[in-house]
Chains A and B, each alone.
Chain A
Amino acid sequence: MIRLQNVSKSYNKGAVQAVKNLTLTVEPGKLFGFLGPNGAGKTTTIKMIVGLLHPDAGGISVCGRDALKDPLAVKRLIGFVPDSPLLYNRMSGMAYLRFIADVFRMPAADRERIVPPLLKQFGLEDAIGSPVASYSHGMRQKLAVIAALIHEPGVLIMDEPISGLDPLSAFQLKEIMRGYCERGKTVFFSTHVMEVAERICDIVGIISKGELIACAPFPDLKRQLGEQDATLEHIFLELTHAEQVLGPGTDDRP
């Protein structure tokens, strides 16, 4: 479970308010899709959950543990895929996975059990011995996803994980995400692909200018807006770009 309580973060000594008073709970077994325009505060929120940024105010907890007071315990529970994969170029893919396994104190037998199926699933078996520097963007993304899954985390947090993946790998990842939730684990991911969010997410959160403007299962969102036939794309645009979509002076969202 992920819980954010009145979380705020500003940049440039308060000149830019990236996240404003964000309160959000993602229950275990739920697949949460985090949507928002560019610069809305998605990546800042994710960075605060995984410990890459310290919030100015508010509290964050993961599986009941305080992320600010006990960050190491929280990090042990999380698998994280950043928006652009941060990998060691001079290492081979396998050496990198071994490193991650060691950091999470995984016995070699567990590693041998978990890694090969993932490599096969993402089609990385042939390249895994090559240096990461020789990988394409998609291959790097796949390696980052495998590294996040390797210790079978309780909470999977991914920042735009589908970008750069080929259709098969994107499909596999979506299956993995759903499978994770079915096993009672939590998945929190950001995306710009509305169709994906609409199809696989249990709950959709929409952030705009640092504020959470909607957070509900997709059918509930449609009901709240009174648009039963609307797509998530339409709802998203209506909520985040009301003026451009509906014309000036019509910002009367519910």
Chain B
Amino acid sequence: MRNRFLALVLTTVRSSTLFSRSGLSELGGGGRVWMVPLAVAGIGMLGVLFVLMAVHMYMGVLELGVMTGTPEMVFFVATLLTWLFLVFLGIAVVMSVFYFSSDIPALIPLPIPAREVIGAKFVVLLLYSYLLCALGFLPALFVYSGRMGPSAYVILSGLANFVLLPVIPAAVAVMFVFVLNRVISFSRYRTLLEVLGNSLFLIVIIGAQLVLPRLMIGNDPQKVARVLLEKGSLFALLGKLMPPAKLIAKSIAGSDGPGVHLLGVFLLTGAVCLVMVVLGERIFYEGYIMQSQVADVPRRVAGVRGILQFMERSGFLRLRPPILALVSREWAILRSNSTFLFQSFSEVVVFPLLLVVFRLSAGSPLDALPAWLFESDAWSLCCGGVAVMLCGISSIYPSSVSKEGSLFGLSLTLPVRGSAQALAKLLFGLQFTLSAFFLNLVLLIVIFQMHPASLLYVVPMGLTALVFFGSVGVLVDVHRPLLAWTHPQQAMKSNMNVLIVMGIDVLAIAVVGFIVVRLLIAGLAPREAGFLTAGIFGILDFLVLRFLARSADSRYSFGFEV
């Protein structure tokens, strides 16, 4: 008989992480053994890049610390950065591990105290956290030892602190999530929370792109040191902001009495864990057993669906055309999980956001461009082309059938032609890409001085091109859908169809672009070139749509085996 807690920890780790034989075989499942080394190589490369960046930054911080007589400041910064990342990213992981994990309803009826379940889940959380700690904290230890000379105490204390490092931020994230669940029901608002979390992450990434270059370019370390020294001890100043991080920094460097601070770190970590367990035991299970499930209460439906429902109730619309019902079903598929929702909406907003960031970070964006390009007559056509390209390359279309997953069998039983189903997918996707296209055009006019009159030929060009890109995407996914997936990410982000369609789109852009550029050089006016491009894509649309309709009719009739 194994110890109950140990059995629970092992079971939780094996079942919810890849740190198990079946987890690894799942990663390399379906004969894709190459996935494991590829994943390791990919993560390793990213890790090396991150470490190089961290080493560079910590060297600067250490120099600043040496100048101000507080070299341990590098540990303070490393701890603070690692903690911030752990808390910020940890909140999503905590929600996933503690609340969206399918094993909780299986564990509650078992005679296991809540504190043991919390402990086992916390171990999983720490396993995830150590990777980030290694990347964020260990470089500081190497940099410090390299510059100040290696010392056994620093290395041992540094490693002890490394082991303890994720405990406090992980516990803080856990407690935050426990309390948050008392305010918002995770089970009811799961999709909304996930979309909000992803959006927040996107905003932070884009915000970092905006802020970091300015920080790195605009600040002189010596000037910063001088200014801060004038205000007193830099370390004392920073330490007031986050005393526990200061305690860790002092405990590693061994300043002001070696061992004392390390003991303090142990005590502090233990105290935070204790608070988490006591709090968790009181409220963790409550999220499940006090739940108030969503009942079948009729909800108000807004938007196009709301208008259609109103028309049906009022008798204006006796029979809803199947195509509208199919488009409406596409919305239901999209709303079925946060990955689909976030991915689709982020494709609409990410490029406009980048345009705004470019505008904010580059000051006058046109200064950054070569004058001959901006002053050229073809400038507006170029802007239009960029807008088409940014919106056309999308993962919405090449995953339109794949997203149905195991429910795809239902589509085959519907008494609707395959061409109508494919058309519904195209129309649905166009709602996103056309919204993004028009949003980009507005921003290009406002920020990049694209001429409004050029919309006369840019809009037809965009409409025909986007229909082409969309049709190709749906066509490829109709032919080789990825229906057997366990996580929605596989259907949309890790779908080979997305890459294939991206390749076809880029090839089409290159060929049509080459023809148009040659004609522009030969003296064709931009307006004529725009209409010509629209014409080329119009012909391509006709051909691809015909092929798509035939192909979908045939595939939906007897071409699939589900």
Q: Please state if B292 and A87 are interface contacts (CB–CB under 8 Å).
A: no
B188 nearest CB neighbor, chain A only:
A12
Contacts A75-B110, A101-B1, A103-B112; A12 near B292 (Cβ below 8 A): yes
> B106–A87 contact, CB under 8 A?
yes
B11 to A91, Cβ gap below 8 A? yes
Cα A50 to Cα B289 in complex, Å, equals 10
B110 partner residues in chain A, CB cutoff 8 A: 75, 100, 103-104
Tell me, in angstroms, the Cα distance from A82 to B8 when the chains sit together: 20
Q: Known contacts being A15-B297, A91-B15, A91-B22, is A99 close to B7, with CB within 8 Å?
A: yes
**Nearest-CB distance from B124 to chain A (Å)?**
13
Contact residues of B between 351 and 366, Cβ < 8 Å to A = none
CB-nearest residue of chain B to A73: B111
**A15-B297, A104-B111, A107-B1 given; A86·B8 CB < 8 A:** no
Residues from chain A with Cβ under 8 Å of B4 in the complex: 102-103, 105
Q: Shortest beta-carbon distance, B343 to chain A, in Å?
A: 25
Q: Does A219 contact B (CB under 8 A)?
A: no
Does chain B have a CB within 8 A of A108? yes
Instruction: Digitize A196-211: 1 where CB-to-B-CB distance is under 8 Å, 0 elsewhere.
Output: 0000000000000000
The 0/1 profile, CB within 8 Å of B marked 1, for residues 99-134 of chain A is 111111111100000000000000000000001000
Q: Which of B23, B109, B297 has the most CB of A within 10 A?
A: B109
What residues of B have a CB within 8 angstroms of the CB of A90 in the complex?
Answer: 14-15, 20, 22-23, 26
Given contacts A86-B103, A102-B7, contact A91 B109 (CB under 8 A): no
Taking the nearest CB of chain B, how far is it from the CB of A119, in angstroms? 19
Given that A51-B289, A86-B102 are known contacts, is A75 also in contact with B297, CB under 8 Å in the complex?
A: no
Roughly how many angstroms separate A160 CA and B293 CA in the complex, as a whole number? 21
Q: What residues of chain B lie closer than 8 Å to A12, measured between beta carbons? A: 292-295, 297
Q: Using an 8 Å CB-CB cutoff, how does the interface string of A9-28 with B read, 1 for contact, 0 for none? A: 01111011000000000000
Contact with A along B21-56 (1 / 0, CB 8 A): 011001000000000000000000000000000000
Nearest-Cβ distance from residue A40 to partner chain B, whole angstroms = 14
- Inter-chain contacts of A16 with B (CB < 8 A): 295-297
Q: Which residues of A contact B522 (CB under 8 A)?
A: none
Cβ 8 A contact of B105, one of A15, A82, A98, A105:
A82
- Grouping DSSP codes into helix (H, G, I), strand (E, B) and loop, the B interface class, with mixed when no group exceeds half, is loop
Nearest-Cβ distance from residue A130 to partner chain B, whole angstroms: 10
B215 contacts chain A at the CB level, 8 A cutoff: no
B293 touches A89 (CB 8 A): no
A106 to B11, CA, bound (A): 17
Residues in A with CB closer than 8 Å to B295 are: 11-12, 15-16
Q: Which residues of B contact A75 (CB under 8 A)?
A: 109-111
Report which of B1, B26, B293 forms a contact with A105, defined as CB distance below 8 A: B1
Type the 1/0 row for A48-78, where 1 means its CB is closer than 8 Å to any CB of B.
Answer: 0011111000000000000000001101101
User: Which residue of chain B has its CB nearest to the CB of A148?
Assistant: B109
| Interface assignment of B306: CB less than 8 Å from any CB of chain A | no
User: How many residues of chain A have a CB within 8 Å of chain B?
Assistant: 38
User: Is residue B2 within 8 Å, beta carbon to beta carbon, of the partner chain?
Assistant: yes
A189 within 8 A of B: no
List of A residues within 8 angstroms of B14 by Cβ: 88, 90-91, 95
* Structural contact, B1 and A99, CB atoms closer than 8 A: no
Cross-chain contact A89 with B15 (CB below 8 angstroms): yes
B369: interface (CB < 8 Å): no
| Interface members, chain B 204-260 (any A CB < 8 Å) | none
In the complex, what distance in Å separates the CA atom of A116 from the CA atom of B1?
Answer: 17
CB distance from B108 to the nearest CB of A (A): 5
Nearest B residue to A96, CB-CB: B11
> How many angstroms from the CA of A50 to the CA of B111 in the assembled complex?
10
Tell me, in angstroms, the Cα distance from A17 to B375 when the chains sit together: 71
Q: In the complex, how many angstroms separate the beta carbon of A230 from the nearest chain B beta carbon?
A: 33
Query: Across the interface, which residues of B come within 8 angstroms of A52, CB to CB?
Result: 105, 108-109, 288-289
Q: A89-B15, A90-B20 are in contact. Are A106 and B1 (CB under 8 A)?
A: yes
* Bound Cα distance from A243 to B103, whole angstroms: 42
Q: Which residue of B lies closest to A89 (CB)?
A: B15
In the complex, the answer to whether B1 meets A80 with C-beta atoms within 8 Å is: no
Question: In the assembly, what is the distance between CA of A54 and CA of B15, in Å?
Answer: 27
> Is A13 in contact with B1, judged by CB distance below 8 angstroms?
no
**Contact of B513 with A by CB under 8 A:** no
The answer, among A53, A73, A99, for a CB contact under 8 Å with B11, is: A99
Shortest beta-carbon distance from B105 to chain A in Å? 5
Measured between beta carbons, the chain A residues less than 8 angstroms from B111 are 72-73, 75-76, 103-104
Q: Which residue of B has the minimal Cβ distance to A108?
A: B1
Q: Closest residue to A76 on the B side, CB-wise?
A: B111
Q: Which residues of A contact B103 (CB under 8 A)?
A: 86, 88
Q: Are B22 and A131 in contact (CB-based, < 8 A)?
A: yes
Q: Is A54's CB under 8 angstroms from B102's CB?
A: no
Task: Tell me if A103 and B289 are in contact (CB < 8 A).
Answer: no
Residues of A within 8 A of B15 (CB): 88-91
Q: Which residues in B have their C-beta under 8 angstroms from that of A101?
A: 1
Question: Are B109 and A51 in touch, CB under 8 angstroms?
Answer: yes
Residue B113 is within 8 A (CB to CB) of chain A in the complex: yes
Contacts A88-B15, A89-B15, A103-B7 given: A53-B289 contact, CB under 8 Å? yes
A54–B290 contact, CB under 8 A? Answer: yes
Question: In this complex, what residue of B is CB-closest to A110?
Answer: B1
Rounded to whole angstroms, the CA-CA distance of A13 and B295 in the bound complex is 10
A223–B517 CA distance with the chains assembled, in angstroms: 93
Q: Does B406 interact with chain A (Cβ within 8 Å)?
A: no
B residues within 8 A CB of A91?
A: 11, 14-15, 22
Asked whether B291 is an interface residue with its Cβ less than 8 Å from the other chain, the reply is: yes
CA distance A5 to B525 in the complex (A): 86
For the complex, what is the distance from the CA of A98 to the CA of B26, rounded to whole Å? 22
Decide if A54 touches B20 in the complex (CB within 8 Å). Answer: no
Q: Are B109 and A103 in contact (CB under 8 A)?
A: no
Inter-subunit contact B109/A50 (CB<8 Å): yes
> B8: which A residues are within 8 A, CB to CB?
99, 103
Give the complex CA separation of A106 and B1 in angstroms: 7
The smallest C-beta distance from B362 to any residue of chain A, in angstroms, reads 49
Question: Max chain B CB contacts within 10 Å: which of A11, A50, A82, A100?
Answer: A11
Residue in B closest to A85 when the chains form the complex, CB atoms: B106
Interchain CA distance A54-B111 in the complex, whole Å = 16
Q: A77: nearest residue on chain B (CB-CB)?
A: B111
**Distance of A50 Cα from B107 Cα, bound (Å):** 11
Residues of B near A88 (CB, < 8 A) are 11, 14-15, 103, 106
* Given contacts A12-B295, A99-B7, A102-B2, A51 and B108 within 8 Å (CB-CB): yes
Q: Contact string, A145-157, partner B, CB cutoff 8 A, digits 1/0?
A: 0000000000000
Could you give 13 example pairs across A and B, Cβ below 8 Å?
A51-B108, A52-B105, A54-B286, A72-B111, A80-B109, A87-B106, A90-B23, A91-B14, A99-B7, A103-B7, A103-B111, A106-B1, A108-B1
Task: Add 11 more A-B contacts to A15-B297, A72-B111 (CB < 8 A).
Answer: A10-B292, A12-B295, A16-B297, A54-B290, A86-B102, A86-B105, A90-B23, A99-B7, A100-B110, A102-B7, A105-B4
